[in-house]
Amino acid sequence: MKNKTSVVPREGEAQPSRCPDNSAFKQQRLPAWKPQLTIGSVLSSFFLTGAFCLTVGVCLVLSANSVREVQIDYSDKCSNCTKLRENSSNWNKECHCSINFTLKEDILGDVFMYYGLQNFYQNHRRYVKSRSDAQLLGRNVNIQRSYCTPFSTYRNGTPMAPCGAIANSMFNDTIDLFYNYNSSMIQVPLLKTGNSWWTDKNVKFRNPESSNLSAAFAGTARPPYWQKPAYLLDEEDERNNGYVNDDFIIWMRVSAFATFRNLYRRLRRVRRFAEGLPAGNYTFKISYNFPVTKFKGRKHVILSTVVWSGGSNPFLGIAYLVSGTAATLAGFVITGIHLKLRKKKTYFQKQ
């Protein structure tokens, strides 16, 4: 083995320096800004933040309260249909009910119709994962390897289209609105399309490529709880069928809470309804298909307007008010502590 020899500098030779280079970065001479936190700057930041949050919060709350909304619970008002739907063997039997209500004032502007569900939990992990995004993009995939089980294939091996628990439980009540005018009923024109997000409609959902949509779904079957196959969801508009149906797309965006509402229709502002919904007597005609008694749920239909801040949910405004109040109170507390300490300092200086 060779011995390692250390290099010893000769007399008169300069030893190598271990100091960093003489640069602004390595010697920490770069220009920097160090804020000087004085009592004036601290209190100003707290009070300005509080004033800003309180102002925005008041505007948001007032805006949310200005939304016109009519909400009707029809779970019990359609009691005959509710009892019919308790028995799953009656899935192919139609049941209709009517609900009358009165608008005392005009609802001007754009009017949106929502359906609301209560006590329906869509946030269960297995429920959220029970879908095939590849299938919803129109691709030919083996759904038996997806998370759609047990709603993937029938016993005879026929695949479901669309598959999964989310699609199978799709809300399928049909709600029509009628205006009672001079002893006659005028159907309120409602828009079925244009209600879903653009990214969902054009990016996340696509139909299989085929000249005929029914041929594209050949060899598949509808989910067990559906009354129609996917290519017949909207018999009035061929472009609103299959995986790109607006009602289907909206339902597939699951909610994080047990009580939620989904957009169902928009008012088509034409003729008598060009300015909105006039005051008067109205009737909801509902084809009752979606059962809720098994999970002790409730169903609502909502007519609502929107404002610049959104719908009637005041949560964001309340959050701003709480933040602004906390910042303002913190400013007053800091002011009190500062005055108390300054008096003590002055007292001891005099002593």
> pLDDT value at position 8?
57
**How far apart are the C-alpha atoms of 104 and 148, rounded to whole Å?**
48
Q: Write down the residue that tokens 């067990």 correspond to.
A: 224
Is residue 167 domain-resident?
yes
Q: Do the beta carbons of residue 81 and residue 95 sit within 8 Å?
A: yes
> What is the chain's length?
351
Across residues 191-218, what is the average pLDDT?
A: 92
Long-range contacts of 247-251 (CB under 8 A, 24+ apart): 247/170, 247/171, 247/192, 248/162, 248/167, 248/170, 248/205, 249/196, 249/197, 249/200, 249/201, 249/204, 249/205, 250/195, 250/196, 251/166, 251/167, 251/170, 251/171
Bond into 162 cis (ω within 30): yes
Is residue 59 domain-resident?
no
**How far apart are the C-alpha atoms of 170 and 148, rounded to whole Å?**
15
User: What residue type is 256 in one-letter code?
Assistant: A
**How far apart are the C-alpha atoms of 100 and 105, rounded to whole Å?**
16
Bond into 314 cis (ω within 30): no
Structural domain range at position 173: 68-305
pLDDT tens string 81-94: 888 887 777 777 88
pLDDT level of residue 76 (50, 70, 90 thresholds): confident
Rg, the chain, Cα only: 33
Is residue 277 domain-resident?
yes
Is residue 187 domain-resident?
yes
In a 13 Å sphere around the CA of 60, the CA atoms on its Cβ side amount to 18
Range in 105-119, 136-150, 151-165 with the lowest mean pLDDT: 136-150
Nearest to 85 by CA among 200, 207, 150, 172: 172
- For the chain, the domain total comes to 1
Helix 39-65, helix 315-350: angle, nearest 10: 160
* pTM, entire model: 0.81
Is residue 32 domain-resident?
no
Is residue 176 domain-resident?
yes
Share of the chain above pLDDT 70, in %: 93
112-118 and 298-304 strand pairing:
antiparallel
Share of the chain above pLDDT 90, in %: 62
pLDDT tens string 244-284: 999 999 999 999 999 999 999 999 999 899 999 999 999 99
Is residue 345 domain-resident?
no
Q: Do the beta carbons of residue 252 and residue 233 sit within 8 Å?
A: no
**How far apart are the C-alpha atoms of 254 and 265, rounded to whole Å?**
18
> pLDDT value at position 6?
53
3-state secondary structure 190-215: EECCCCCCHHHHHHHCCCCCCCCHHH
- Angle at the Cα of 316 (from 310 to 319), degrees rounded to 5? 170
User: What residue type is 165 in one-letter code?
Assistant: A
Is residue 331 domain-resident?
no
